[in-house]
Amino acid sequence: MMRHIVAAAGVLAMMSGLAMAETTAVVRTDPGYVAAAPHKTTVVKKRVNRYGQLVKVKKTHRDGFYGSSTTRTRTVTDPATGVSTKTRMIERE
């Protein structure tokens, strides 16, 4: 009987730890928003450039055991044709 109680307590502890690890906070600011996870931060900004194209810049910073990295993605969408051009750059620290 005691081993069932210990096993149930272990399962409950693992499930609560998993639930806490999946929480994500999203903070809306002008002109973009920030999504923060325990080891990852994402900032997205949208604007219209002087040619009338929609520009979306997304910057993601990850902290890990073996180091950190920053990924920058820039997407330019032409509203007349609907064609998108995506540029991605990764920096390791």
Q: Beta partners for 84? A: 77
- Please report, to the nearest 10 degrees, the dihedral formed by the alpha carbons of residues 74, 61, 44, 53 taken in order: -10
Map out the domains of the chain as residue ranges: 25-92
Q: Inform me whether the pLDDT recorded for 22 exceeds 60.
A: no
* pLDDT tens, residue by residue, 40-79: 888 899 999 998 999 999 999 888 888 889 999 999 999 8
pTM: 0.58
For 72, half-sphere exposure in the C-beta direction (CA atoms, 13 angstrom radius) is 6
Q: Which CATH number fits domain 25-92: 3.40.50, 1.10.150, 2.60.120, 2.20.25?
A: 2.20.25
**Do 38 and 21 contact (CB within 8 A), yes or no?**
yes
